[in-house]
C-alpha cells in the first residue's frame, strides 16, 4: 500500500497564491505611482496596501487587501477619523440599507465590535487565475471612490447632524424608491 501526502502540493499552492496577490498589489501600486509598503498581517493572513485618499474635501482610508486562503482581493474604503456612537450607528445603518439599493458595485456596511465605522467594500475571487490584472483592482478602487463622490457628503451631513442634535429628522435620510 502506498501512502501519499498532499501537504507539499498545498504549501506550493499557498506560496503561488501569495505571490499572485503580492504581484497584483505591486503592479497596481506601480501603475498609480504609489510607493507605500505592502504589509502582511499574520493574525488574519492578509496582505494589505493602506492609503490615505481625499475625496471632495473629506479624508478616507483605503485598504487594498489580498487573502490567499479566500482567493480574493478586496478594496475597503472608509471615512478617516469618523467613529460612530451607538446612537449614530442606528441612523447610519438605516442610511446604509437604503443607499445599498442604489449601488452598482460593492456595498456599504458598518463593522462589528466596540468601534463602529462606515465602510464601502467589494472583492473579487481569483480562483483559477494565473494573473490578476491591475485594472481589476483599479476598477474596484474607482468604483469605491465614485461611490463616496456621490454619497460621501450625504453621509457626513447625516453624521454631523447627529452630532449636533438630539435626534435626526427623517428628511435627512434618503427616501426609499
With a cut of 50, say whether residue 14 has pLDDT above it: yes
Domain boundaries, the chain: 7-172
Average pLDDT of the residues in 70-78: 94
User: In this prediction, what percent of the chain has a pLDDT beyond 70?
Assistant: 82
Query: What pLDDT sits at residue 82?
Result: 87
Does the pLDDT of residue 173 top 60, yes or no? no
In which band, very low, low, confident or very high, does the pLDDT at 2 lie, cut at 50, 70 and 90? low
What is the Cα Rg of the chain in Å? 19
Indicate the DSSP class of residue 101.
T
Task: Give the pTM.
Answer: 0.81
- pLDDT score, position 146: 96
> Mean pLDDT lowest for which of 42-51, 132-141, 163-172?
163-172
Q: What is the CATH number of domain 7-172?
A: 3.30.1460.10
Share of the chain above pLDDT 90, in %: 56
- Tell me the C-alpha distance between 148 and 75, whole Å: 13
- H helix or E strand, kind and range, residue 95: helix 86-100
Amino acid at each position: 500500500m502506498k501512502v501519499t501526502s498532499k501537504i507539499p502540493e498545498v504549501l506550493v499552492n499557498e506560496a503561488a497564491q501569495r505571490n499572485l496577490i503580492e504581484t497584483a498589489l505591486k503592479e497596481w501600486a506601480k501603475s498609480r505611482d504609489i510607493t507605500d509598503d505592502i504589509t502582511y498581517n499574520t493574525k488574519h493572513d492578509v496582505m494589505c496596501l493602506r492609503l490615505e485618499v481625499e475625496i471632495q474635501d473629506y479624508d478616507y482610508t483605503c485598504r487594498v487587501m489580498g487573502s490567499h486562503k479566500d482567493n480574493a482581493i478586496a478594496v475597503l474604503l472608509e471615512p478617516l477619523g469618523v467613529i460612530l456612537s451607538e446612537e449614530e450607528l442606528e441612523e447610519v445603518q438605516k442610511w446604509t440599507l437604503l443607499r445599498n439599493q442604489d449601488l452598482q458595485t460593492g456595498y456599504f456596511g458598518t463593522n462589528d465590535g466596540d468601534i463602529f465605522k462606515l465602510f464601502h467594500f467589494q472583492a473579487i475571487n481569483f480562483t483559477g487565475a494565473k494573473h490578476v490584472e491591475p485594472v481589476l483592482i483599479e476598477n474596484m478602487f474607482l468604483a469605491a471612490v465614485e461611490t463616496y463622490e456621490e454619497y460621501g457628503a450625504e453621509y457626513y451631513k447625516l453624521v454631523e447632524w447627529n452630532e449636533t442634535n438630539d435626534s435626526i429628522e427623517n428628511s435627512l435620510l434618503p427616501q426609499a424608491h
